[in-house]
Amino acid sequence: MDLKPLLYLEIPHPQTQDVCRWLQQSWQSPMGTKKINTPDGIRLELAQNSQLSIFVWSLQRTTYLKMFRWGKKVSGKERKVKQELKKAIALKFPNQYPDLPEIDLSNQSIFEALKDYYPQTVKYFQKMPQGEYDLNRVYWWEKKWRESVQNNSNSENNYQIKPVIFQDKSKGKADYDLIYVGGALGAIHAALMAKLGYDVLLIERLKFGRMNREWNISRAEFQVLIDLGLFTKKEFEYIIAAEYEDGFSKFFDSNNPDNLKANILHTPNVLNIAIDTNKLLELCGKKLIKYGAQIWDQTDFEKATIGTDLVTVKATNLVTEEEREATGRLLVDAMGTASPIAWQMAGKRAFDSVCPTVGAMLEGFEPEVWDRTYGDVLFSHGDISRGRQLIWELFPAEGNELTIYLFHYHQVHPDNPGSLLEMYEDFFNILPEYRRCNMDKLTWKKPTFGYIPGRFTVGENDRKIATNRLIAIGDSASLQSPLVFTGFGSLVRNLGRLTNLLDKALKNDLLDGESLNRIKAYQSNIAVTWLFSKGMMVPTHKTLPPQRVNAMLNTFFGLLADEPETADTFIKDRTDWLTFNRLALKAARKNPPLLWWIWQMAGTKDIILWMGSYAKFTFDAFKNLLFSRWFNPWLDKQSKWLKESNPKLWFKLLTFGSKFVSQK
């Protein structure tokens, strides 16, 4: 008897038994076809020699359904059953985007407040050394993010972004050259500027040295920090928690056609160094003190007032509740995605995308579950789940520890901002599906979580990351790669150029918004790949074939798996114009519907915007070909008189020439 697949869809409901019961007891098959219950679904008898088998199963806290034909084709009835079933499922089990529960912690702990909503999350946070503190942080972070998205995106309500940056005409001598707000990426940049001789103040909301995320990088990329003199080779070896031999990228392809099944992508030199962030920040703290900088930790930024020649920053010590004030020549926002400064500068336009990311550092995996000499760079073990393509990362850490992340690429939408707590509930429920393990035998060290933002840019002036005497760096600037790097990778990769330009701006008092906006980690070869990340998102209120995102990922990563050197270049954001176009053409030949899929997911407006990004990428490639060899030597000869006669023009040309150096 012939067996023919007819339908595959996801039902965004975690209780598969409810779906099965609904199929068996409530759903009425059309045209009076006889329905027979089976252990996992139903059979429909269409004709004497033709039946439809419909069954459901559970994976990734959601439900999947398939329909197969047994026997001869009965086209009219089959189409009718498919149409009616899909329509009924959409009505009965629509997409749900849960709100963050409102809780009162005045007479209960965070564990008691959330246990009915996120039972597995509460269970495993209770096993962590500072679990109560950390779960409070997760809740605070999600609440802050949701408020920012709602206030920034919904023009129909009366919400307004609370302003934290103000203007006046104050003058005077500043206490510091630079005031950094945010002590993770901010600590690295601040230590480097303090080493150059600048008076630096660092303000950090947490106790200094504490991080919500871990960082991975390659030896070649970290070399930038050694070359700049911030760390020695010995110090670099000290902060390495682990180094693995090879990293894998593989996406679930069981439901993809044969031409879209891909080999494992091996990237032995991508993210293969796990950084001990405690040791890294400890060293940064010592260097800050050595170079005369001040650290105000456990201090919450309140507001800043930008005057004529200084910035006045007001903050509150969270322990003593003492109000503190300092003035600086320049304020540097390194607060990350929840930065109220970044949101205020963004105006009416929120971040275009975000990766809600959760995970944990743990130990206790059995050797047969995972070999610690390897890492998962990007991995999926199933198709779309409740409007998200879930992706795992796994990196060896110190000793027997592993750091595991779960994330997805997400469209920022006021109805569906993206939830860390929902992701954590997924993480603790489906980790045993990803890696065979007994959850209760694992030792939970600490959580890792955050929102990694993205902004779809057409050109470098499309995103404002600075104003007078204020500049954003790292995730606050949201200029990181759409693939595997966060603000850490983007900052380190561009640190030499950014530090040199900021040094020049400070020495020549070019701290106006126009000049500072030229100091950014923008790369047109990264901007043009944002369409790739659009193909990894499921638009809010839309339903896609469950296998769609994995099919797109396998299209691209299958090509990279066949070209290891190209893969390393592409993933580290060093792709040139010729390589990008060659890969794009190969992908189109391999998967002809690809462009139509992307059009469906991105929409006409974003496709047109991307064409602008591509035009800018092409123009930058032409400029690089035309200017790269002679422009900087010529500018060196003109710098003395040009800086004296027209410093702004000199700085503009300096930032223009610096791009040719950073792209080598």
Residue 457's pLDDT band, with cuts at 50, 70 and 90, is low
Lowest mean pLDDT among 113-127, 143-157, 403-417: 143-157
Could you tell me if residue 520 is inside a domain? no
Q: What secondary structure does DSSP assign to 62-127, as a single string?
A: EEEEEEEEEES--HHHHHHHHHHHHHHHHHHS----PPPPP---SSS-HHHHHTTT-HHHHHHHTT
> In this predicted model, what pLDDT tens digit does every residue of 354-396 receive, in sequence order?
889 999 999 998 887 888 889 999 999 999 999 999 999 999 9
Please tell me the predicted confidence (pLDDT) of residue 149: 83
Evaluate if residue 91 carries a pLDDT over 50. Answer: yes
Q: Look at 271 and 133; give whichever has higher pLDDT.
A: 133
The CATH code of the domain that includes 32 is 3.30.310.50
Please tell me the predicted confidence (pLDDT) of residue 523: 67
Could you tell me if residue 48 is inside a domain? yes
Handedness of CA 564, 573, 490, 608 (dihedral sign): negative
Q: What are phi and psi of 194, to 5 degrees?
A: -65, -35
Could you tell me if residue 75 is inside a domain? yes
- What is the domain range of residue 73? 3-92
Please give the distance of CA 621 from its chain centroid, rounded to a whole number: 27
Q: Look at 483 and 216; give whichever has higher pLDDT.
A: 216
Could you tell me if residue 54 is inside a domain? yes
Could you tell me if residue 51 is inside a domain? yes
> In this predicted model, what pLDDT tens digit does every residue of 523-570 receive, in sequence order?
666 777 777 777 788 989 988 999 999 999 999 999 999 888 888 877
Lowest mean pLDDT among 338-352, 493-507, 567-581: 338-352
Residue 482's pLDDT band, with cuts at 50, 70 and 90, is very low
Tokens describing residue 106: 């005045």
Please tell me the predicted confidence (pLDDT) of residue 164: 93
Please tell me the predicted confidence (pLDDT) of residue 480: 47
Give the DSSP H/E element, type plus range, for residue 581. helix 577-590
Burial class (CB in 10 A: 0-12, 13-18, 19+), 258: exposed
Mean pLDDT of the chain: 88
Please tell me the predicted confidence (pLDDT) of residue 156: 44
> In this predicted model, what pLDDT tens digit does every residue of 126-143 receive, in sequence order?
999 999 999 999 999 999
> In this predicted model, what pLDDT tens digit does every residue of 97-106 receive, in sequence order?
999 999 999 9
Please tell me the predicted confidence (pLDDT) of residue 161: 67
Could you give the number of structural domains in the chain? 1
Total-model pTM = 0.85
What CA–CA distance (Å, rounded) separates 51 from 391? Answer: 37
Could you tell me if residue 210 is inside a domain? no
Evaluate if residue 655 carries a pLDDT over 70. Answer: yes
> 244: how many CB neighbours lie within 10 A of its CB?
19
Could you tell me if residue 325 is inside a domain? no
